A = this chain, B = another copy of it.
Amino acid sequence: MSATLCATPEEAVAGIEDGSTVLIGGFGMAGMPVELIGALIDQGAADLTVVSNNAGNGDTGLAALLARGRVRKVICSFPRQHDSWVFDGLYRDGKIELELVPQGNLAERMRAAGAGIGAFFSPTGFGTPLAEGKETREIDGRTYVLEHPIKGDVALIGAHRADRMGNLVYRKTARNFGPVMATAATTVVAQVAEIVEVGDLDPETVVTPSIYVDRVVAV
């Protein structure tokens, strides 16, 4: 169904349930859906599993969500940053679970969820602690680890522009995890800088087709 245009971030995140798996776009702050995360904090869903490349910066955005104790588990590639003190503290205190995933496997596992792939053999991580306990296989002389899809109940992503159907374009390296997360969640919510009329986006340049987008809000 065509995307719903929401008037506010609050409306855009309505109905997210306790225990949900939430995919959150962004690489550092680029592409981070800051207003949607703020609305999720106000909305109150708890016991969340958050899938995101990083685990929050400073005291705002994802870090603020973690600080409220709303997140049970983080699945990410790079939690440790110079300003990741909120995550660091929770992790050291044993108050948050971490599944550390190499960045490419993180992206590809979400792609698999979106593309209907049941599992795939990745060369990344073979022979390292991050592949411990996973099935391995040698194929054509190379060694691989079997990786499974990561599917979200909700994805919160940041894009540059949407048309009123929900087609999305991104801007520079803020694109990062947005397109793949948009394919991998049951409900996909995009915040954008601008919503334009249908027909105003060149069909050759659409990065996320409207089929993947459920709710759009301009911030």
B-binding residues in A (CB < 8 A) = 108, 112, 115-123, 137, 139-140, 142, 144, 148, 169-172, 202-205
B118 touches A118 (CB 8 A): no
Q: Could you tell me the distance in whole angstroms from the C-beta of A204 to the nearest C-beta in chain B?
A: 7
Q: Is the CB of B205 within 8 A of A204?
A: yes
Name the CB-closest residue of B to A151.
Answer: B140
Residue of B nearest to A111 (CB): B115
Known: A120-B121, A202-B205. 7 other contacts (CB 8 A): A116-B122, A118-B123, A118-B139, A118-B142, A119-B120, A119-B139, A172-B203
Q: How far is the CB of A142 from chain B (nearest CB, A)?
A: 6
Task: Provide the bound-state CA to CA distance between A116 and B170, in Å.
Answer: 26
Q: Is the CB of A121 within 8 A of B123?
A: no
Q: Are B205 and A171 in contact (CB-based, < 8 A)? A: no
23 A-B interface contacts by CB (under 8 A): A108-B115, A112-B120, A116-B122, A117-B120, A117-B121, A117-B122, A118-B120, A118-B123, A118-B137, A118-B139, A118-B140, A118-B144, A119-B120, A119-B121, A119-B137, A119-B144, A120-B121, A139-B148, A169-B204, A170-B204, A172-B203, A172-B204, A204-B205
Q: Closest residue to A115 on the B side, CB-wise?
A: B108
Which residues of B sit under 8 angstroms from A144, Cβ to Cβ?
118-119
CB contact under 8 A between A118 and B116, given known A204-B171, A205-B204: no
Contact of A123 among B108, B116, B172, B203 (CB under 8 A): B116
Q: How far is the CA of A117 from the CA of B170 in the complex (A)?
A: 27
